[in-house]
């Protein structure tokens, strides 16, 4: 495998590695939302949420479409939704081990 492939995969996975971004992704599992709806659901500020949306979009996880003065964000496709659902399922299986893990590299 080429180094660039691993670098891009790392960037993609890093898109999921933030609490706020995971909150946004979980919100979008139920369908597209405006920035205002996402800000309200996350209870964050617009500037911070916009930065996270840009990151998720740049990582290829979400897409945005403009309709009038609103931008609607959604998960890119069904494969992303399936990946998130699979991550949730695997998490359910390993959460006890993760809670017991005190390896500082995992923080």
Domain 3-76 of CATH type 3.50.50.60? no
Residue 99's pLDDT band (cuts 50, 70, 90): confident
- DSSP letters along the chain, please? --HHHHHHHHHHHHTT-SHHHHHHHHHHTT--EEHHHHHHHHT--HHHHHHHHHHHHHTTSEEEEEETTEEEEEES-HHHHHHHHHHHHHHHHHHHHHHH---GGG-
pLDDT recorded at residue 100: 81
pLDDT recorded at residue 53: 97
pTM of the model: 0.84
Per-residue pLDDT, averaged over 78-102, amounts to 89
Question: Over the stretch 49-89, which tens digit does the pLDDT of each residue have?
Answer: 999 999 999 999 999 999 999 999 999 999 999 999 999 99
Please give the distance of CA 40 from its chain centroid, rounded to a whole number: 17
């Amino acid at each position: 495998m080429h180094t660039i492939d691993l670098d891009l995969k790392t960037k993609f996975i890093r898109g999921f590695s933030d609490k706020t971004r995971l909150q946004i992704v979980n919100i979008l599992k139920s369908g597209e939302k405006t920035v205002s709806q996402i800000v309200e659901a996350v209870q964050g500020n617009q500037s911070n949420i916009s930065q996270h949306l840009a990151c998720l979009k740049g990582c290829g996880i979400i897409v945005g479409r403009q309709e009038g003065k609103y931008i609607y964000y959604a998960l890119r496709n069904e494969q992303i939704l399936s990946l998130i659902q699979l991550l949730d399922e695997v998490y359910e299986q390993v959460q006890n081990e993760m809670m017991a893990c005190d390896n500082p590299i995992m923080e």
